Amino acid sequence: MIEKQEVLKIIELAKLKVEDEKIDRFQKDFSQILEYVSELKELDTENISETSHSVDVKNIERKDVPLKYEGMNLISREKEGYLTIKKILNNE
């Protein structure tokens, strides 16, 4: 089982706020996680190919087209790579 001091260090490093009465629960949970990881380390993965996803994922691509929106009529011109717009506020 993971030591209580290690749990406190993990809580500190993760900047978690944990009530004192819940630290024992964290200790138990962390220990179970580490035991499971230990079991996974024992598995023979020699003939298993690496993968980044458990299912085949493909990007859905769309054509990159400029969009028109309501405010496009405010754009008066482009200046030095920036769009300038018509004045919309009064100096009141």
Question: Based on C-alpha coordinates, what's the Rg of the chain?
Answer: 28
Mean pLDDT in runs of 10 for the chain (92 residues)?
Answer: 92 93 93 94 88 78 76 74 76 66
Q: What is the pLDDT of residue 54?
A: 77
Q: What is the pLDDT of residue 92?
A: 63
- Phi then psi for residue 86, to 5 deg, are -70, 150
Cα gap 12→14, rounded to integer Å: 5
Q: What is the pLDDT of residue 62?
A: 82
Q: What is the pLDDT of residue 17?
A: 93
Q: What is the pLDDT of residue 55?
A: 79
**Model-level pTM greater than 0.75?**
no
Among 74, 67, 72, 69, CA closest to 88: 74
